[in-house]
Structure 1
Amino acid sequence: MLEIERKFSVKSTNFLANAKESYKITQGYLNTDKNRTVRVRIKGNKGFITVKGISSANGLSRFEWEKEILVDDANALLMLCEDFVIDKTRYLIPFGSVVFEVDVFEGANEGLVIAEVELETTDQQFDKPEWLGEELTGDERFYNAYLSNVPFTSWSR
């Protein structure tokens, strides 16, 4: 139940050529307290509820518990979520020994593209594709819970 992941910006759409799968995700947050978040998600045709704990100091790991729920229940819970719901398309891109999950955000977070890779250990080494940009691990602005309250399109850049 410990999630270990690293996040990166994406500097080009070259990843699309190697995508093995993609699906739509709609998600919202019932609670965005920094010590714990409660997320409701519809991924493809499945519903999920997820509880995440506070991140480690380096942002690499945190407690995560997830349970599949009925899509109808997920839709009902999305109506109770804070602020606004996040919509994105996720692409799965195998690269070397890992699979990158690249999220292309829509709506109020349009223009944001983030790659995540889940790891077995915090010091696991992996190859990085040329389309991967700077590391964002630990930068709370790129957590989906933050983006649901302060959308990317509202940032002054």
Structure 2
Amino acid sequence: MVEIERKFLVVDETFKQQAVKQTRIVQGFLTTDPERTVRIRIKGNTGFITIKGKSDAEGLERFEWEKEIASTEAEALLKLCLPGTIDKIRYEVPLEDVVFEIDEFFGANEGLVVAEVELTHKQQKHPVPNWLGKEVTGEVKYYNSQLSKKPFKTW
């Protein structure tokens, strides 16, 4: 239930040629409190509720709990969420022993493309493909919960 991930900006769209899957995601937040966020997500045709704890000092590690729910329940819960729905397409790119999840944002966050890679431990090495740009791990403004309140287009 502990998530360890690094986050990077993406410098071009060549990752799309390596993607094995792409899925539309719409999500909102019931709370964006820095101590805990509660997210409602529809990923493809499946709903999820996710609770995330506060990140560690490096922004690499935090508690995460997720449960699949019916998409109809997720749709109803999205109506209760705070303003600022996130709309994105997630691309999955497997490289060596990891999978990069690249999110291309739309709406108020259009123009932002972020890659995340989940790791099994903090010191784990991962490939560095040409499309991977500046690391933004721990930069709070790139958290989806913050993008819902202060979208990329307003920076």
Partner of residue 83, structure 2:
83
Residue 83 of structure 1: how far off its partner (Å): 1.4
Structure 1 letter corresponding to 2:104: V
| 3-state SS in 2 of match to 1:75 | helix
Partner of residue 146, structure 1:
146
Q: How many corresponding residue pairs?
A: 155
Partner of residue 110, structure 2:
110
1:49-105 residue CA offsets vs partner (Å, 9 max, x unmatched): 000000000000000000000100000000011112100000000112111000000
For structure 1, the residue ranges without an aligned partner over 5 or more in a row are: none
Q: Name the CA distance, whole Å, in 2 between partners of 1:88 and 1:129.
A: 22
Aligned-pair identity in percent equals 57
| 3-state SS in 2 of match to 1:80 | coil
Q: Name the CA distance, whole Å, in 1 between partners of 2:123 and 2:83.
A: 36
Q: Name the CA distance, whole Å, in 2 between partners of 1:29 and 1:5.
A: 20
| 3-state SS in 1 of match to 2:99 | strand
RMSD across aligned positions (CA): 0.5
Structure 2 letter corresponding to 1:78: L
Partner of residue 119, structure 1:
119
Partner of residue 54, structure 2:
54
Aligned pairs (5 A) from 1:69-80: 69-80=69-80
Tell me whether 1:43 sits opposite 2:43 in the alignment: yes
1:7-61 residue CA offsets vs partner (Å, 9 max, x unmatched): 0000010101100000100000000000000000000010000000000000000
Q: Name the CA distance, whole Å, in 1 between partners of 2:99 and 2:128.
A: 11
1:96-140 residue CA offsets vs partner (Å, 9 max, x unmatched): 211100000000000000000000001101111011000000000
For structure 2, the residue ranges without an aligned partner over 5 or more in a row are: none
The runs of at least 4 consecutive aligned structure 1 residues that moved more than 3 Å come to: none
Structure 2 letter corresponding to 1:136: V
| 3-state SS in 2 of match to 1:126 | coil
